Chain A
Amino acid sequence: MTSSETQTEGEGQDHGGLRQRLVRWAAGRTEVIAAGALVAAGWLLILAINRWHLGPPAVFLCLGWVAIVAAGRLLWIAAMRAGSELDGLPDEIEPVGLTRLGELEREKKALLKAIKEVEFDRELGKMSDADADEIVKVYRARAIEILKVVDSGGEADALPDGEPIDQVIEREVRARLALAGVRAKVKAPAPAAAAAAAGKTEDEGASS
C-alpha cells in the first residue's frame, strides 16, 4: 500500500466519519431542522413579497412568522406530552423535599452562612460575645445534626404535608435529647459528668 493510497483512504475515513456525525446530529434534531427550514422559507417569501427590501414591515412580518412556527411546534409538543410518554419516565411527580440530600445540603449551607453572619456581626461590634456564642451553639448543633443525617444516607422522614426541614431537624435534636435523658432545665454539669453523659448519648444513639 503506497502512502498516497494510505492518505486517500485516511481522508475518505475522515469524510465518512464527519458525514456520520452530521447524520447522527441531524437525526436527533429533525423537528428543529424542519422548523428552521420552515422559518427560512417563510422569511424568503416575505422578503420576496416586499421586493427584497428589509424595512420595518418586513421585519415585523418575519417576527410574526417565527411566532407562528414556534407556537405551532410548542402546542404540538404540549398535546403530545399530555397524551403519551415521551421520555419513558413514570407519570407520578417525585416529591421535592425532605428525602433529598440536596435539601439537607441546602439547609446546612444556610446554617453555615448564618453562623458566619453572626460571627461577622460580633466582629463588627453589633453583637455581644454572650449573645453570639449562644446563637452559634444552637446553629452548630443543628448543622451537626444534618451532617449526621447526611452520613446515614439522607433518608430523613418524609412527611406528606411538607414540613420544613428546619422543624424536622429541631424535632430530631429534641428526640435525641429525650433519648439521652436530658431534662428541660439543665444545670451546667461538671466536666467529667458531661463527658460521661456525652458518651452515653453516643452509645444510645448508635444502638437506636
Chain B
Amino acid sequence: MPESSALSIPDSPVAALGSISLLAAFLVAAYACAAGAIGNTQRRRRLVQSSVTALYGFTAIMGLASALLIYAFVTHDYTIKYVAHYSDTSMPLAYKITAYWGGLDGSLMFWVSVLAGFSAIAVRTNAARHRDMIGYVVAVVMVVQLFFLALLIYNKNPFATTLTAPPDDGKGLNPLLQNYWMVIHPPSLYTGYVAATIPFAFGIAALLSGRLDDQWLSSVRTWTFLCWFFLSFGLILGGRWAYEELGWGGYWAWDPVENAGLLPWFTCTAFLHSCIIQEQRGMMKAWNLTLVIITFLLTIIGTGLTRTGAVQSVHAFGEDNALALLFVLFLCAILAASVGLLLYRLPRLRSAASFESFISREFAFLLNNWILLACALFVFFATMWPTLSEAFIGDRITYGPPFFNQWMIPLGLVLLFLAGAAPLLAYRRTTRDRLFNQFRLPLGAMAVTIAVLAIAVPRTRVTTSIFHDDLRLPLSLVNFGIIAFTLTSVVQEFWRGMQVRAKQTGGGKATSLIGLVFAKRRKYGGYVVHVAVAIMFFGFAGKAFEGMKDFTLQKPGETFDYRGYTFRFDGLWAPSSRSDENKEVAEAQVTLMKDGEELAIMHPARFRYAKEPDQPTTEVDIVSYLEEDVYMVLTGFSQNPNRSPKEVNFRVYINPLINWVWLGFFFLALGTMICLVPQQWVDRMTPGRKSRLGRLGEAALLLLVAGGILVGSARMAMAQPPDPRSQLEHKDPNQASGLSHNQAAAHIARPDDPAYLAPYRTRLMAALKKENPGIADSELKSKVALGLAPVVEITKQAMAKLVCMCGGCTRETVYECKCSVAANERQKVLAMMARHDLLDPDQRRAAYDEVVAWYTARFGGEHALIVPEKETSGRIGWMVPYVMVLGGLGLLYAVGRRWVKRGRQGMSERRDAVAAAEQLENEDYADRLDDELRDTD
C-alpha cells in the first residue's frame, strides 16, 4: 500500500481526522450513488430522497476535510507532508490558504469539494421538478466523486504524514505562485471545470430516465453559463498572471495546460449556441447531448493532463504514469457508457424539424458549432502530438505558438464574422432582399474600415501566413474589418430592436431599450458578449505590431530611446523595506518620458526567494495606456567591487492595444450577467407593479449595482501591484549592500548586434556612395538601414525557430529567452550566419537552413524546433490538421445538403398543415390566444 494512502491512519490528530473524513466521504458517496440509481429505476421516492440527503451529508464531510487541511496550513502542521511541501512559516496568510490547491493532492481534493457544493445546490433547486430523474443525477455525480476520492484515498492523500521527524519549516510555495492572481485563477478555472459536471449529470439522467424533452436543458442552462463564465474568467486571469509574472511580455503561449483549459471552453461555447436551436426549433437534441458529454470529458482530460505528466509544461504538477492510466480507464468507462446510452435513445432524439436553407440562423449556428469543434480538435491534436509522436514514431515533436497561430487565427476570424452575421439571419430561411437589407450596413462598415486603414496605416497591410506558409493574407486588415462588421451588426440589432419595441409598447427609446434587453436577456446579453469578443480581437490585433528591445546602461542619468519613448536610468538598489525574511529584492528606477515630458517612474525588480535561491523571479513594471503598454523587465545587472552597479540590463516591450483584451472581458462579464438575470427579477419590473422608483428606475438601479460590481472587478483585474514607492527606502546605490550578482544575458548576441552587422554596413555604405557620391548622410543612413533589414530579419527568424534548451523557460525560443544558454546559442547562430553573404537572398535561405539542420542534429530531433519541418518526421503531424479541417468542411456540406433537402420536403407538408390549421382555428380560442399573446413579452 502506498505510504500516502488514507488507509494507513496517521499519528497527527488533524491528519487522522482528515483521512477518516475522506474514507467516510467515499462510503457515503457509494451509498448515495446506489440509492439514487435504484430509487429512480424502481420509482422509490424514499430511496431517492435518501440519496439526495446523503449528497448533502457528503458535501458537509468534504467541508470538514477542507477546513481541516486549511487548519493544518495556518497552524504550520509540518507533520503533514503536503503542508510541509507547499507552505512555510513566513508565507502570508492568503497564500497559506491558497496553498490548499497549490499541489496535486490538494487540488484533487479541492475539485471534489467544489463539485460537492455545486451538486448540492443543483440538486436542491431541481429535486422537485425532476423527481423522476434526480436520483440518476445524484448517481452520476457520485460516480465522478468516487473516482476522485479513490485517487485521493489510495495514492494522493493530502493528509499523509511524514515517516521521519517533521521539518522545522516547510519548503514554501513556488515563488511564481506567490502572486495575488494565483489566489483567484485556479479556483475560477476549477469552478469552470466542475460546473461542466452538472449539465453532464442531467444529460445522462435524461438518457437514463427517457425524459428527453427540453426540461433538463432549461435546468442546466444557468450551470452551463456559469461553467462558461468561470472558464473564461480563469483563462483571462491565467493570461493576466502570465503577463505580470513571467516577464516575457505576452499573455498566451499555447502552453499545454493553458490549452487544457481552452478545450472545454470551445465545446461549452458551442453548446450555449446550439441549445438555443433546440429550444427554438426542437432540433439538434442528440448533438446537444453529445456536446455536453464531450465538454465533461474534456474537463476530465484537462484535469488529467496537468496531473499526470502526459504533457510537458511549467504548469504541470509532475509525472505519474499510474495516475495517467487511471484517468484513461475512467475516461474510457465514461465514454463507453455515455455513447452507449446515446445510441440507445437515438431514435427518440430525432427531430421532426430540419434545416431548410443554408442561409438561415440555424445553419449559421451549426457552422459556428463545427468551427468551434474544429478548434477544439486542432488544439487537442497539437497539444497531444508530442506524446503521440513519441509513442508512435519515437520522436517527440512539439508545435510552438507559430503553428497554433497559423490555424487558430483564421478560424477565430471566421467565428468572429459569424458572431456578427448570425444575428442578421432569420430562422428557417433568409430571402435575398432580406439578406441585402440586413447585411448592407455592416458590410459597408467593414469595407470602409479596411479601405481607410489600408491607406492611412500601411503597417496593417503586412501579410501573415494562414494554414500554410505560402498562403499569406493581410490579417490585421481583415481582423479590423471583421471587428467593424460585428460591432455594426450588434449596434444595428440593438437599434432596430429598440425601434420595434418602442412601436409595440408606445414607450420612449431608453425605456424600450432597457425593456428589450430584459425581455430578451439571452439574446441581447449574448450580443453584449459578442461585442466583448470583438473588443478582445481588437486587443489581439496589437500582437502584430509589438516591439521588443534590449538595452544595457552603466551610469544613472543615461538614457535610451525606443518607439518614441525615452527611458532614463535613475539607479539600482536593494530597498530593505521590500526585502523581508522571505525574499531579497534588487530594484531599478527608470523614468519614462515622451517629448521631454515625464510620464511615469518605473520600478522593474528581481526577487530572490530564500527557499528558492536558484529561481529568481523578474518583477516587471508596466505603464498602461489605452493604446499600448510600456512593459519593462530588469533582466540582470553586474556590480563593481564597491557594489555599485557596473552594468544594468533591461528589456522593453511595447505592446499595442493589449489593454483592450482585459477591457473586453469586462463586457463579457456584463453580457453574462444580463443572461443570468432571473425571470423573477424581471417579473417584478413588469407593468402594474407599483414601486417608488418605477420600472425604469428599478432597471437602472439594477444596472447600476451590476455595473458597480463589474467596475470593481474590472479595477481588480486591471490593478497594478502596490506602488513600491510608497514602501521604498532609497539607498545610495554606491552603498547598496546585499545585492547578489545577477549577470544578464538577454542583450548578448542579438540579431541587430553592431559587430555582427558591421561588415554588411560597410559594404552597403561603400556601394551607395559609389552609386551616388553626393548622397546626404541622413539618406545614406536610412538606405543602409533598409538594406540591413533583411539581414536582421533572417537572423531573427533563425533564432526564433530554435527552442531554448535551458530547461528553465516555458519553451521560449533562443531569440526570446533571457538566459545565458540562449545567449550562447545566439552567438553560435551569428557565427554560422556570418559565414554566408546575407545580402544575397539565396545565401540568406541557405544560412537559415544550415542553422536549423545543425540545431536539429545537435539535439537529436525536431523537438528542438518551435515548429517541426514538414519535410521530415513532422509530415504526419503537419498533414493531420488539413485532413481534419477540410474533411470536416466536406462532411458539413454533405450532411447539410441532405438536411436542407429533407427540410424543403418537409416544407410542403407544413403548407398542408398550415391550410388545415386555418380550418381548425376556432374564433373563441383565437380570441383567448390573442389575449394571452398580448400579455406575453
Residues on A lying within 8 angstroms of B by beta carbon are: 56-57, 60-61, 63-64, 66-68, 70-71, 74-75, 77-79, 81-82, 84-86, 89-97, 108-110, 112-118, 120-121, 123-128, 131, 134-135, 137-138, 140-141, 143-144, 147-148, 161-167, 170, 173, 176-177, 180, 182, 184-186, 188-189, 194, 197-198, 201-202
Instruction: Contacts A60-B74, A71-B61, A134-B911 known; list 13 others, CB within 8 Å.
Output: A60-B68, A63-B63, A67-B63, A82-B50, A97-B211, A112-B929, A123-B500, A124-B497, A125-B437, A162-B209, A173-B920, A198-B920, A201-B920
Mind listing 16 A-B residue pairs with CB under 8 Å?
A60-B74, A64-B67, A64-B71, A74-B60, A89-B45, A91-B45, A96-B215, A125-B434, A127-B426, A137-B917, A163-B348, A164-B213, A167-B352, A177-B916, A188-B915, A201-B920
The contact string, 1 if C-beta is below 8 Å from chain A, for chain B 199-231, is 000000000011111110000000000000000
In the bound complex, residues from chain A placing their C-beta under 8 Å from that of B63 are 63-64, 66-67, 70-71
Q: Is B22 an interface residue (CB 8 A)?
A: no
In the bound complex, residues from chain A placing their C-beta under 8 Å from that of B911 are 134
Nearest opposing residue in chain B for A117, CB measure: B280
Known interface pairs A120-B500, A166-B282, A182-B919. Does A126 touch B430 (Cβ–Cβ under 8 Å)? yes
A135 to B43, CA, bound (A): 40
In the bound complex, residues from chain A placing their C-beta under 8 Å from that of B493 are 124
In the bound complex, residues from chain A placing their C-beta under 8 Å from that of B70 are 60
B429 touches A131 (CB 8 A): yes
A121 touches B426 (CB 8 A): yes
Residue from the list A94, A117, A167, A176 in contact with B920, Cβ < 8 A: A176
In the bound complex, residues from chain B placing their C-beta under 8 Å from that of A125 are 434, 437-438, 496
Q: How far is the CB of B344 from chain A (nearest CB, A)?
A: 12
Residue from the list B56, B71, B131 in contact with A96, Cβ < 8 A: B131
Residue of A71, A85, A148, A198 with most partner-chain B CB within 10 A: A71
A151 to B684, CA, bound (A): 29
A74 touches B57 (CB 8 A): yes
Q: Is B769 an interface residue (CB 8 A)?
A: no
A108 to B935, CA, bound (A): 13
Closest 6 pairs (CB-CB, A-B):
A141-B917, A74-B57, A71-B60, A67-B64, A64-B67, A82-B50
Residue from the list A84, A116, A162, A194 in contact with B213, Cβ < 8 A: A162
Total of A-B residue pairs, C-beta within 8 Å: 213
A108 to B57, CA, bound (A): 39
Q: How far is the CB of B91 from chain A (nearest CB, A)?
A: 13
In the bound complex, residues from chain A placing their C-beta under 8 Å from that of B31 are 78
A86 to B434, CA, bound (A): 62
In the bound complex, residues from chain A placing their C-beta under 8 Å from that of B715 are none
In the bound complex, residues from chain A placing their C-beta under 8 Å from that of B35 are 82
Within 8 A of A (CB), among B904-937: 910-922, 925-926, 928-929, 932-933, 936-937
Nearest opposing residue in chain A for B69, CB measure: A60
Q: Is B503 an interface residue (CB 8 A)?
A: yes
A197 to B920, CA, bound (A): 9
B132 touches A95 (CB 8 A): yes
Residue from the list B93, B215, B919 in contact with A180, Cβ < 8 A: B919
Within 8 A of A (CB), among B483-514: 493, 496-497, 500, 503-504
A91 touches B44 (CB 8 A): yes
Residue from the list B210, B917, B926, B929 in contact with A138, Cβ < 8 A: B917
A188 to B919, CA, bound (A): 10
Q: How far is the CB of A65 from chain B (nearest CB, A)?
A: 9
Q: How far is the CB of B811 from chain A (nearest CB, A)?
A: 39
A68 to B670, CA, bound (A): 39
B130 touches A96 (CB 8 A): yes
In the bound complex, residues from chain B placing their C-beta under 8 Å from that of A77 are 53
Nearest opposing residue in chain A for B128, CB measure: A96
Q: Is B129 an interface residue (CB 8 A)?
A: yes
In the bound complex, residues from chain A placing their C-beta under 8 Å from that of B915 are 186, 188
Residue from the list A96, A115, A198 in contact with B919, Cβ < 8 A: A198
A123 touches B920 (CB 8 A): no
The contact string, 1 if C-beta is below 8 Å from chain A, for chain B 424-466, is 1111111100100110000000000000000000000000000
Query: Which label, helix, strand, loop or mixed, suits the secondary structure of the B interface?
Result: helix
Known interface pairs A67-B61, A82-B46. Does A109 touch B936 (Cβ–Cβ under 8 Å)? yes
Residue from the list A113, A140, A184 in contact with B912, Cβ < 8 A: A184
Q: Is B622 an interface residue (CB 8 A)?
A: no
Q: How far is the CB of A118 from chain B (nearest CB, A)?
A: 8
Q: Is B28 an interface residue (CB 8 A)?
A: yes
B434 touches A140 (CB 8 A): no
B920 touches A79 (CB 8 A): no
In the bound complex, residues from chain B placing their C-beta under 8 Å from that of A138 are 910, 913-914, 917
Nearest opposing residue in chain A for B18, CB measure: A64
A64 touches B933 (CB 8 A): no
Q: How far is the CB of B63 from chain A (nearest CB, A)?
A: 4
A164 touches B212 (CB 8 A): yes
Known interface pairs A115-B933, A202-B922. Does A67 touch B916 (Cβ–Cβ under 8 Å)? no
A113 to B916, CA, bound (A): 22
Q: Is B48 an interface residue (CB 8 A)?
A: yes
In the bound complex, residues from chain A placing their C-beta under 8 Å from that of B49 are 81
In the bound complex, residues from chain A placing their C-beta under 8 Å from that of B913 are 138, 141, 173
Q: Is B40 an interface residue (CB 8 A)?
A: yes
In the bound complex, residues from chain A placing their C-beta under 8 Å from that of B71 are 57, 60-61, 64
A115 to B926, CA, bound (A): 13
In the bound complex, residues from chain B placing their C-beta under 8 Å from that of A97 are 132, 211
A61 touches B434 (CB 8 A): no
A108 to B928, CA, bound (A): 12
Q: How far is the CB of A34 from chain B (nearest CB, A)?
A: 16
In the bound complex, residues from chain B placing their C-beta under 8 Å from that of A84 are 46
A201 to B202, CA, bound (A): 43
Residue from the list B28, B213, B916 in contact with A186, Cβ < 8 A: B916
A143 to B929, CA, bound (A): 8
A127 touches B50 (CB 8 A): no
In the bound complex, residues from chain B placing their C-beta under 8 Å from that of A115 are 933, 936
Within 8 A of A (CB), among B4-63: 24, 28, 31-32, 35, 39-40, 43-51, 53-54, 56-57, 60-61, 63
Known interface pairs A67-B67, A147-B928. Does A96 touch B129 (Cβ–Cβ under 8 Å)? yes
A140 touches B929 (CB 8 A): yes
Within 8 A of A (CB), among B228-276: none
Residue from the list B279, B348, B500, B932 in contact with A112, Cβ < 8 A: B932
B496 touches A79 (CB 8 A): no
Nearest opposing residue in chain B for A68, CB measure: B64
Residue from the list A67, A91, A131 in contact with B46, Cβ < 8 A: A91
Known interface pairs A81-B49, A138-B917. Does A127 touch B434 (Cβ–Cβ under 8 Å)? yes
In the bound complex, residues from chain B placing their C-beta under 8 Å from that of A71 are 24, 57, 60-61, 63-64
Q: How far is the CB of B540 from chain A (nearest CB, A)?
A: 30
B67 touches A61 (CB 8 A): yes
A182 touches B57 (CB 8 A): no
A85 touches B46 (CB 8 A): yes
Q: How far is the CB of B621 from chain A (nearest CB, A)?
A: 32
Residue from the list A63, A85, A94, A180 in contact with B67, Cβ < 8 A: A63
A42 to B504, CA, bound (A): 62
Q: How far is the CB of A136 from chain B (nearest CB, A)?
A: 9
A127 touches B44 (CB 8 A): no
Nearest opposing residue in chain A for B75, CB measure: A57
The contact string, 1 if C-beta is below 8 Å from chain A, for chain B 396-427, is 00000000000000000000000000001111
Q: How far is the CB of B351 from chain A (nearest CB, A)?
A: 10
In the bound complex, residues from chain A placing their C-beta under 8 Å from that of B54 are 74-75, 78
Nearest opposing residue in chain B for A202, CB measure: B922
A75 to B215, CA, bound (A): 30
B933 touches A92 (CB 8 A): no
A113 touches B936 (CB 8 A): yes
A95 to B39, CA, bound (A): 13
Q: How far is the CB of A68 from chain B (nearest CB, A)?
A: 6
A186 to B911, CA, bound (A): 9
Residue from the list B426, B912, B920 in contact with A131, Cβ < 8 A: B426
Known interface pairs A121-B427, A141-B917, A147-B929. Does A134 touch B56 (Cβ–Cβ under 8 Å)? no
A61 to B427, CA, bound (A): 57
